[in-house]
Amino acid sequence: MQVKEYKPLIVAFCCNWCSYAGADLAGNNRLNYPADVKIIRVPCSCRVNPMFILRAFQRGADGVILCGCHPGDCHYTSGNYYTRRRMAMLFSMLDYLGIERERTRVEWVSAAEGAKFAATMNEFVEAVSALGENKRLEDLRCKR
């Protein structure tokens, strides 16, 4: 019997101005990162509200990563500073509820950092793969 290899599903929210462009650059430079990463483009990292993260997990994500401009470089001046606080509090709460802390991450990736984008994704996918399937924040109905 052939055992199906476990492939994690990763959702990456990327801000339009830096991280999405960073992903583009990674592609243009032919840098490899796993196809398990599904990118959702958002206008700014602070567009992502906690419900987005939770619903990504509900719909089957095994890890969620949020990428935005480096602090100080936000296209809207201060959006990512708010993101930093919000996500720090949310991820800390998820950890408090016993959800593995490796499943969530925030990284700052600029438009020039194609290499960092690819490296970050490789590393994150590896970390999530090591954890295996998301069982603690899943909605079984979505896996039928």
Minimum Å gap between C-beta 28 and another protein is 28
The residue (of 24 and 73) whose beta carbon lies closer to another protein is 73
Minimum Å gap between C-beta 133 and another protein is 14
Minimum Å gap between C-beta 75 and another protein is 16
Helices 19-28, 114-131: crossing angle, 10 deg rounding: 100
Indicate the residue type of 29.
N
The residue (of 7 and 101) whose beta carbon lies closer to another protein is 101
Rounded Cα–Cα distance for residues 31 and 96 (Å): 36
Q: Across-strand partners of 10?
A: 37, 63
Residue 88, SS3 per DSSP: helix
Q: What are phi and psi of 62, to 5 degrees?
A: -100, -20
The residue (of 29 and 49) whose beta carbon lies closer to another protein is 49
The residue (of 41 and 85) whose beta carbon lies closer to another protein is 85
Q: What are phi and psi of 13, to 5 degrees?
A: -85, 120
Minimum Å gap between C-beta 27 and another protein is 26
Contact positions vs another protein (CB under 8 A): 50-51, 54-55, 57-60, 71-72, 78, 81-82, 84-101, 104-106, 136-142, 144
